[in-house]
Structure 1
């Protein structure tokens, strides 16, 4: 089957946390024989900050950030058996959805793939005329990268025919154990861009514990934190390219995952960072969110903190030996149960089931 996939960016993770998710899933689907073209706009300096070359398993079409260019690439949806429009593409999202649906064949499987369901659902609740809400009846399926029953039920309640979560996972070709790198030596590292929905939790779970542990060293990576007040024991690195993520994860004694507020409240929304860290064999400390035990076992494969005090206590009692043991167990778990190959099995079954249903209706 041929897939036309309209997303933010496959080539650049710059201000684009979904890149790891897209790469892992689409590579695994390509291995199953899917012919995939990824369409991404040239916006937000992403093309100037590419961290991978165009892959051999997926054709990538980069189009200018203009309406004419958008209309030209959406016309190519007519050639695909599966047409995907994701959330947060970043340029004329409403028009992109409209044009994709206008050009998609009547027999094509039409999907909205939501990589930020809490934010999308909040927008639709606030606006009865939201373009996506109006388009749900024309879509065959909504897929999301996180969320359990609350997300599924909300989408169905707004008119989606079906909604199925396809969780983040591990791409072992990209995230795996490497040698430690002295650039990233610290007791605790955190990697994440500065976002309004995350900033207060970064203060609570990372910056405040750093201030309370002045003898320990902390490492902050990600864009946007340059003017954020922080204690002298925090080293700020700025944007950390994907090629350095493995070393960033394995070198500190532990690394921290901090969910955005909406993701934490929704639950069942493991960030890509969870699997990146586990895949590198890192000792991960994560803020609490409902459903963590479905992915990693608290206390054995991951340490869970409900507030900054828990982070301080975890670091105070964490030996290098225990940190290494947690990392080994986490790596074994994600390799066994949470790779993108596993996720692709689910997606392939969904695509095949819908294709069979369409054939039955046509007969």
Structure 2
């Protein structure tokens, strides 16, 4: 298939979770014979932190202004089998209008930020990537979040055919490597600063650091404010590009995952960091949310923390026990949550949506996957 995507970014992992997910997925799709054309707006903050430049077997097209690229986009859609627009695409509404007018491709919307989308709807804030018509004209709506989010996409945004497409990891990129001295820690946390994660980070990371002054804690990420409540035994590494993630996780005795508030409240929204850390053979300590046990078995493949004491107890586990949990978590990820698994799932979803569209007289036509 030729798949044309209008997205946020694949070229820069700075301050966003989209890029790493897209890289793994398009690499897996390319291995399976598909061609990806990805349109990305060339904004300064991503351009100055670019760490990916070429899509294997496809095209990465940068543009400054939508009007300058509109004709090129229309030309790419003429022979496309699938046309997709994603959440946080800077020109999402304009791109949606263009692809919905294209008669040949299957029309797909992929919301990688579903809880944020609904948070904005509830607050009456504008959603810059979904038009006033909602999702009713798309042949398929994909969501990074499952559970009740899928029902809400139908009831509140008019989506007709809905399916989850969860996070994943590329094991060719994320795998155990030799620990690096500058990333060594008893407990690490990798994530962009977010105000709605700060209470949990205080409870599950900063407070435990105060109780375990002889342990070494490490934070990696971007956009941390000057008034962040650092402790003497907490080190900081500014934004880590994806190639550095394996060394970061492989140097951690234990790593912490904290889910953004809207995502935790909605549930069924596993962070890509969970799969990355597990693939690197690192024991994971995570906050809890509905659906987590469908991706990892608590106590066996992942540890759960709700209090400061839970974190301290996890730190007090033996190396042997943490390694056992790490092995089990890695085995689960390699069996169910790789980019290859998601590429296969996407193929099945696209074929199913195409069959429905064809049987109801729709315009989408697809080549065999």
Calculate the TM-score normalised by the size of structure 1.
0.92
Tell me the CA shift for residue 53 of structure 1: 3.3
Question: Contact conserved, 2:79 with 2:105, CA < 8 A, in 1?
Answer: no
Question: Contact conserved, 2:140 with 2:353, CA < 8 A, in 1?
Answer: no
Q: Residue 151 of structure 1 corresponds to which residue in structure 2?
A: 149
Q: Secondary structure at the match of 1:237?
A: strand
Q: Secondary structure at the match of 1:138?
A: coil
Q: Distance in 2 between matches of 1:330 and 1:125?
A: 36
Q: Residue 231 of structure 2 corresponds to which residue in structure 1?
A: 231
Q: Residue 48 of structure 1 corresponds to which residue in structure 2?
A: 48
CA deviation digits over 1:206-236, x for unaligned, max 9? 2222122222110000001151121111001
Cα distance 1:328–1:133, how it changes in 2: closer, same or farther (>3 A)? Answer: farther
Residue ranges of structure 2 left out of the alignment (5+ in a row): 363-369
Question: Contact conserved, 2:144 with 2:167, CA < 8 A, in 1?
Answer: yes
Calculate the TM-score normalised by the size of structure 2.
0.91
Cα distance 1:302–1:48, how it changes in 2: closer, same or farther (>3 A)? Answer: same
Q: Residue 259 of structure 1 corresponds to which residue in structure 2?
A: 259
Tell me the CA shift for residue 70 of structure 1: 4.8
Tell me the CA shift for residue 118 of structure 1: 0.6
Q: Distance in 2 between matches of 1:73 and 1:165?
A: 30
Q: Residue 206 of structure 1 corresponds to which residue in structure 2?
A: 205
Q: Distance in 2 between matches of 1:206 and 1:147?
A: 28
* 1:336 pairs with 2:335: yes
Q: Residue 133 of structure 2 corresponds to which residue in structure 1?
A: 134
CA deviation digits over 1:239-268, x for unaligned, max 9? 111111001001121011110011111111
Q: Secondary structure at the match of 1:5?
A: strand
Tell me the CA shift for residue 73 of structure 1: 4.6
Question: Contact conserved, 1:201 with 1:261, CA < 8 A, in 2?
Answer: no
Q: Distance in 2 between matches of 1:126 and 1:258?
A: 24
Residue correspondences, number: 357
Computed over aligned residues only, the root mean square deviation of the Cα atoms, in angstroms, reads 2.0
Q: Secondary structure at the match of 1:197?
A: helix
Cα distance 1:196–1:58, how it changes in 2: closer, same or farther (>3 A)? Answer: farther
CA deviation digits over 1:101-144, x for unaligned, max 9? 34xx2242111101110111222344498644523121112101
Larger mean CA deviation between 202-211 and 150-159 belongs to 202-211
Q: Residue 291 of structure 1 corresponds to which residue in structure 2?
A: 291
* 1:117 pairs with 2:77: no
* 1:355 pairs with 2:336: no
